Amino acid sequence: MSETLTEQQIIQATRCWVEKVVVGLNFCPFAKREVDAGRVYYGVQMDSAIEAVLTQVKLECQRLDQQPDIETSLLILPVGFEGFLDYLDLVALAEDLMLQQGYEGVYQLASFHPDYCFEGEAESDPANYTNRSPYPMLHLIREASLEKALAHHPDPDSIPQTNIDLAREKGLAHMQALRQACFGG
């Protein structure tokens, strides 16, 4: 599948998902402002070697260091991490790398995957679609900006449960269709 897709098609599907799901359903109440301002960087890593991906994570942190106009970076991994458990291993390695590189407290790593499944939940639970993206990806977020946004939110602790409730209310078919529509065609 991925071999025939261009980086631009991969970014377009991801951008659609961010706009229609993350912003459209308000799963992240802070995303709309950054999306509208064009402050989200979309990068594609086609090399699935662990070392190459970790090098790219480091480079994304450096990009954020050097470009304060970028609020958040999405590192999209269209090949090599289709298995959710392998992907979770990568997330742990990326978090360790960020700690070793001195980025703890500077950038936070969020994870999204097409087969994302919250621990203890059924794979068919629509709530999983709050984190089910078109492709596996690592999301680097400026922690200071996140803390500032959370401080201005009336009830930040309610965000996860609100998202779960909304996804379940919309239902599995609706959530699947929203994501699938981002692939076009």
H helices of 37-158, where?
A: 50-66, 84-100, 143-151
Label residue 2 by pLDDT band (50, 70, 90): very low
Closest CA to 105 of 77, 73, 70, 146: 146
Residue with tokens 């995303």: 31
pTM above 0.85, yes or no: yes
Tokens 């709309």 correspond to 32
The string of pLDDT tens digits covering residues 81-123 is 999 999 999 999 999 999 999 999 999 999 999 999 999 999 9
